[in-house]
Amino acid sequence: MLRGIEAAKAGMMSILEYNDNIAHSLANANTTAFKQTKVSFKNIQDSVINAMQGRNGNLDENGQLGTLSQGCAVADYTIDFSQGLIKDTGRNFDFAINGDGFFKMKMADGTYTYTRNGVMQIQKDGTFTDTQGNILMNNNGIVKINIYDNSGEKQKLIDFDKVVIKENGEIYYKEKQYGKIDLYDFDDKTKVMDLGENRFVSMDEVSNPAKLVKKVNIQQGALEMSNANSILTLINSMNAQRAYESMNNVMQANSTTLQKATSTVGKAVG
């Protein structure tokens, strides 16, 4: 009975962690380029069940009936990097990655992170940044264009709506190339850490560094949506709730049985 209570308790704790992860995915179902996390479980321990003395049922050579699980626990969290749907926005500096790769961003503290969130803007000096001011980088340094048009008699600002980002990442204005957007990827995505806000870094930059993507596929005027399906996430949440209730019933049944055993077994009659 105590064994059953402990197993149910472990299962309930695991489901609470699982439900927290589901809630996180559901909250980000509409977040640009969000990547959901999947939870895997492990068996805590198996206990050997021995037969009662004198019983000759289905036993193995050691006189054992088999094993009994002691409950489960969360084994690992794995980031799901599967492609999200691509949605047209009509905004010239929204970029969606179709396929593998990440944008490389230089943070305010000088470190580099990687994201698939392609909401960009151009600063006064022509530098491409995200909405927080972090700088978009390529293999040669900062992604930057000349924001002044010198083709006429007077210098004037370029028409930003006519800046073209080709599928391979090349940046053009009036058929003149101004730069290029590069993408980066990791050989082993299981060794990539989520920093929050859709920013990722390698856990080991020596053995698993970010590498330049050879085949780039960028769609201008579009964004990648979250890969968390809100309907499936809600279904998973309901299933988790049912499992939690079932384990709670198991714990209550074992507790009731234990209470009866301690109060009535061995009690004198008459």
The closest alpha carbon to 224, from 81, 109, 126, belongs to 81
Distance (Å, whole) CA 247 – CA 181: 52
Average pLDDT, the chain: 84
CB 18 within 8 A of CB 83: no
Instruction: Clarify whether residues 107 and 12 are in a common domain.
Output: no
Residue 150 in any domain: the answer is: yes
pLDDT tens-place string over residues 223-261: 999 999 888 888 887 887 787 777 777 777 767 776 776
Query: Binning pLDDT at 50, 70 and 90, where does residue 133 land?
Result: very high
Residue 267 in any domain: the answer is: no
Residue 245 in any domain: the answer is: yes
Instruction: Clarify whether residues 152 and 50 are in a common domain.
Output: no
Instruction: Clarify whether residues 119 and 237 are in a common domain.
Output: no
Instruction: Clarify whether residues 125 and 143 are in a common domain.
Output: yes
Instruction: Clarify whether residues 40 and 113 are in a common domain.
Output: no
Instruction: Clarify whether residues 33 and 58 are in a common domain.
Output: yes
CB 253 within 8 A of CB 21: no
Residue 269 in any domain: the answer is: no
Instruction: Clarify whether residues 38 and 121 are in a common domain.
Output: no
Residue 107 in any domain: the answer is: yes
Query: Binning pLDDT at 50, 70 and 90, where does residue 40 land?
Result: confident
Instruction: Clarify whether residues 63 and 34 are in a common domain.
Output: yes
Report the domain count for the chain.
Answer: 2
Residue 23 in any domain: the answer is: yes
Residue 270 in any domain: the answer is: no
For the full predicted model, state whether its pTM sits above 0.85.
no
Instruction: Clarify whether residues 166 and 51 are in a common domain.
Output: no
| 241 vs 4, more confident | 241
Instruction: Clarify whether residues 12 and 70 are in a common domain.
Output: yes
Q: How far from 91 is each of 105, 156, 161, 163, 262, CA to CA, in Å?
A: 20, 22, 9, 11, 71
Instruction: Clarify whether residues 73 and 141 are in a common domain.
Output: no
Residue range(s) defining the domain that contains residue 130: 86-224
Residue 70 in any domain: the answer is: yes
pLDDT tens-place string over residues 178-233: 899 999 999 999 999 999 999 999 999 999 999 999 999 999 999 999 999 888 88
Res 4: pLDDT: 63
Q: How far from 19 is each of 36, 98, 234, 244, 258, CA to CA, in Å?
A: 13, 30, 10, 10, 30
Instruction: Clarify whether residues 23 and 130 are in a common domain.
Output: no
